[in-house]
Chain A
Amino acid sequence: MSRFEFYNSQGLRIDGRRNFELKNFESSLTTTSNFNNFSRNSQSSTTYLQMGQNKILVNIDGPKEPTNSNKSKIDQDKAVLDININVTKFSKVNRQVSTNNNNSPDKQTQEWEFEIKRLFEKIIIMDSYPKSIINIAVTVLQQDGGILASIINCVSIALMNNSIQIYDIVTACSVGVVDQMHYLLDLNHLEEQFLTSGTIAVVGGSPTQNVEDANVCLLSFNDIFPLDLLDGFMMAGIKGCCTLKDIMVTQVKAMNINKLIEIQ
């Protein structure tokens, strides 16, 4: 199956990373890098995440009072979460021509929406926003493997930027297995295509924590895989998620200091 050497004897991958090396992770509060164009009056801000070649925009609207169309969904005790993922047709190398003409999302996207909604329903403190709705709109501009993990990371950052109360930070990471012995973190699209791979999301991971106690809130695994390797798979994923959390915290802090300076 391997036409490519995914992990060579020197311990390098196709794109020159080591096996546990993450992609470069850059997030910003708006799409523009400088804040001159940043509108102070905008009610909702857009969070942009670039994780390797994955480029994702997340826009959070709310918590707000439901509009007429979704008034029936209102919950008296807690907030209602509404997630919309738009994977643009130009996001892959080949332009995807959709067969359905009414632009409805495909099955894969619907599955992501379902998983992410279930995930964040437990992470956001929904009780603090009764009778309101939180709209999360995700746009995937470019994809290069591990897109589900990137979406989760970006939504997590966007929630912090919009000061929505969450229990703890969620980080996600994709993991692949080479030759049933080497684990690779944060796959690119070639690796994702040819290797057994999965996505793992951890809430509130920290490097000091015991790996076995990490709280796994999402695990998605679609390929055939020996049961005994699940242990190593999760260890690798959780370590990646914990490292990612540190990076995320520093970036969110830096981002919001910039924002504060701009407003003053």
Chain B
Amino acid sequence: MAKELELNNTEKKFILSLLAQNQRLDGRKSLIETRNLDIKINPDAYGDVYVSLLTPEGSVSTRVHCKITADIVKPKDKRPFEGSFYVNCEINGLTGLQFENYSKPNSMSSEGYYTRFLESMILRSNALDLEQLCIIAGEKVWDIRLDLHVLEYDGGFLECASIACLTSLLHFKRPYVEVQNEKIHKVYTDLDERDGVNLGVLHIPIAVKFNIFQQLPTEELIKQSNNTNPGKELVAIDCTIKEEMLSNGEVLVALNKNREIVQLDKPGGVPLQSYKLLELANMALPMVENITSKILKAIEIDESKRNEYAYLLSAENDRYDG
């Protein structure tokens, strides 16, 4: 068995006292400050994205690679008009030794839980329109597979992964398919020959994770629920792995910028008052808006790089500018 990351008592106390003073181990000045986001899109392919979180000093703390591949398959009998979508997440010993050990083969780790959160976030909210992936009903549909590799891990997996998923879904282009007489005539796999088709992404859900650090023992938290004394627990966003290990509970919220909750999960942990949960959900909204605009901007920049000569080929001219 590989040795897991362990914290000694001094370090635990130090991190918790830092958090109580509204400071973070990596130099951030507030509990609700996120790390800098960096989205890199591979210029040679579609839907190949690297997303990393940078510490204030500029070094990479968490990095995720996301790649989409598409394949033509036969649809399920129950849903002949829909394509399929699958998220495959790989976290192995490369990222951290704690992922080498599997406690029980049939039980779910928290990373497995997050992956499932991501998949259902995209599927159940219809963020990816599966009906657009249909080529011939009941015969041929597209199967979209998303491979997620965690290259470096220092917390913030859920945010990073959701950003990577959505960026690559928005960026990916599947080959154009020509259908004649209910048969596939030609698949334009060479995107230079004929431009690909974007996937139908209907809205952009982004997940945010809040970590809760309790200040009082659990007994007092539950018994003294009637008198509201503020500041009973600390809530931090975008925790590093050391902070995550010390947290007593978490709230996962996925929102889109249309003020809709796509998914909300509080899997056990320390109890939280209902007004606090509402506060957290509302707090996530400006963050989601910010991230969404960053994603769209990154894709726009990439698009303009690809079409360097677009203005030469364009039929638009000054006279027509109006």
Partner-B contacts on A (CB < 8 A): 73, 104-105, 107, 110-111, 113-122, 125, 167-168, 198, 203-204, 209-228, 230-231, 234-235, 238
- Per CB-CB distance, the 7 closest pairs between chain A and chain B, nearest first, are A118-B268, A119-B268, A215-B271, A221-B264, A110-B108, A219-B266, A217-B271
Contact A216 to B272, CB < 8 A, known contacts A226-B261, A227-B259: yes
Residues of A within 8 A of B164 (CB): none
Q: Within 8 Å of chain A (Cβ to Cβ): is B255? A: yes
Instruction: Say yes or no: A210-B223 contact (C-beta < 8 A), given A122-B269, A219-B264, A221-B263.
Output: no
Q: Tell me the minimal C-beta distance from B100 to chain A in angstroms.
A: 15
Shortest distance in angstroms between A153's beta carbon and chain B's nearest beta carbon? 15
Q: Which of B47-55, B169-177, B214-222 has 4 or more CB atoms under 8 Å from chain A? A: B214-222
Q: Which residues of the other chain, B, contact A235 by a CB distance below 8 angstroms?
A: 274
- Does B266 lie within 8 Å of A204, measured CB to CB? no
Q: How far is the CA of A121 from the CA of B271 in the complex (A)?
A: 11
B71 adjacent to chain A (CB < 8 Å): no
Query: Does B88 count as interface, using CB distance less than 8 angstroms?
Result: no
Q: Of B108, B110, B270, B285, which one neighbours A113 at CB under 8 angstroms?
A: B108
Of the candidates B105, B120, B219, B267, the one whose C-beta lies within 8 Å of that of A119 is B267
Decide if A167 touches B107 in the complex (CB within 8 Å): no
Chain A residue numbers with a CB within 8 Å of B218 are 122, 167
Taking the nearest CB of chain B, how far is it from the CB of A72, in angstroms? 9
Could you tell me which B residues sit within 8 Å of A by CB distance? 103, 105-108, 110, 112-113, 116, 120, 124-126, 218-219, 221-223, 225-226, 228, 248-249, 251, 255, 259-275, 277-278, 281-282, 285
Find B269's partner among A118, A168, A209 (CB 8 Å cutoff): A118
Q: How far is A212 from B273 in the complex, measured between Cα atoms in Å?
A: 7
- B145 to nearest A CB, angstroms? 17
| A114, A168, A214, A224: the one within 8 Å of B113 (CB) | A114
Query: In the bound complex, do residue A212 and residue B275 qualify as a contact, i.e. CB atoms below 8 Å apart?
Result: yes
> Contact: B261 with A210, CB < 8 Å?
no
Compute how far the CA of A226 lies from the CA of B282 in the bound complex, rounded to whole angstroms.
11
Which A residues lie within 8 Å of B274 (CB)?
211-214, 216, 234-235, 238
- B225 / chain A contacts, CB cutoff of 8 Å: 204, 209, 213-215
Known contacts A107-B116, A114-B267, A223-B125; decide if A213 and B261 are in contact (CB<8 Å).
no
Question: Is the pair A220, B266 in contact by a Cβ cutoff of 8 Å?
Answer: yes
With A104-B106, A211-B274, A223-B125 as known contacts, state yes or no: A228 contacts B269, CB within 8 Å: no
State which of B116, B223, B268, B277 has its C-beta within 8 Å of the C-beta of A121. Answer: B268
Task: Please indicate the chain A residues that have their CB under 8 angstroms from the CB of B120 in the complex.
Answer: 222
Shortest distance from the beta carbon of A218 to any chain B beta carbon, whole Å: 6
- Bound Cα distance from A111 to B267, whole angstroms: 9
Chain B, residue nearest A70 (CB): B104
How far apart are the CA atoms of A117 and B249 in the complex, in Å? 12
What secondary structure prevails in chain B residues at the interface with A? mixed
Assess the B266–A216 pair: CB atoms within 8 A.
Answer: yes
* B141 shortest CB reach to chain A, Å: 19
Seed contacts A118-B269, A216-B266, A219-B265; 17 additional CB < 8 Å A-B pairs: A73-B103, A111-B108, A114-B113, A119-B269, A122-B249, A167-B222, A215-B271, A215-B272, A217-B268, A217-B272, A220-B264, A220-B267, A222-B124, A224-B124, A224-B262, A226-B260, A227-B261
Judge whether A234 and B277 touch: CB under 8 Å.
yes
Q: Is the CB of B278 within 8 A of A167?
A: no
21 A-B pairs, CB-CB below 8 angstroms?
Answer: A116-B268, A121-B268, A125-B219, A203-B271, A213-B273, A214-B274, A215-B221, A215-B222, A215-B225, A216-B271, A216-B274, A217-B266, A219-B264, A219-B265, A220-B264, A220-B267, A228-B259, A234-B274, A234-B277, A235-B274, A238-B274
- Is the pair B228, A213 in contact by a Cβ cutoff of 8 Å? yes
A214: chain B residues within 8 A (beta carbon):
225, 273-274
Question: Which residues of the partner chain B approach A209 to less than 8 Å between Cβ atoms?
Answer: 225-226
Contacts of B277 in A (CB 8 A): 216, 219, 230, 234
Asked if A117 and B268 make an inter-chain contact with CB atoms under 8 angstroms apart, the answer reads yes
- B264 & A115 in contact (Cβ 8 Å cutoff): no
A203 to B260, CA, bound (A): 27
Q: Is the CB of B261 within 8 A of A104?
A: no
Asked if A111 contacts B116 (CB within 8 A), the reply is yes
Given A213-B273, A224-B260, A227-B285: A203 and B267 interface contact (C-beta under 8 Å) = no
Please judge, given known A-B contacts A111-B108, A111-B116, whether A226 and B265 are in contact too, CB under 8 Å.
no
A258-B109 Cα distance, complex, nearest whole Å: 41
Closest to B276 in A: A216
Return A239 CB to nearest CB of chain B, in Å. 11
A234 and B259 CA atoms in complex are apart in Å by 17
The answer for the CA separation of A122 and B249 in the assembled complex, in Å, is 9
Q: What is the bound-complex CA distance between A210 and B75, given in angstroms? A: 51
> Which residue, B106, B124, B251, has most C-beta atoms of chain A within 10 A?
B106
- B282–A227 touching, CB < 8 Å: yes
How far apart are A216's CB and chain B's nearest CB, in angstroms? 5
Contacts of A226 in B (CB 8 A): 259-261
Closest CB-CB distance, A170 to chain B, in whole Å? 9
Cβ-closest chain A residue relative to B119: A107
Taken together as a complex, chains A and B put the C-alpha atoms of A202 and B262 apart, in Å, by 22
Q: Tell me, rounded to whole Å, the shortest Cβ–Cβ distance linking B130 to chain A.
A: 15
Give complex CA distance A111, B271 in Å.
19
A168 to B125, CA, bound (A): 35
CB distance from B182 to the nearest CB of A (A): 30
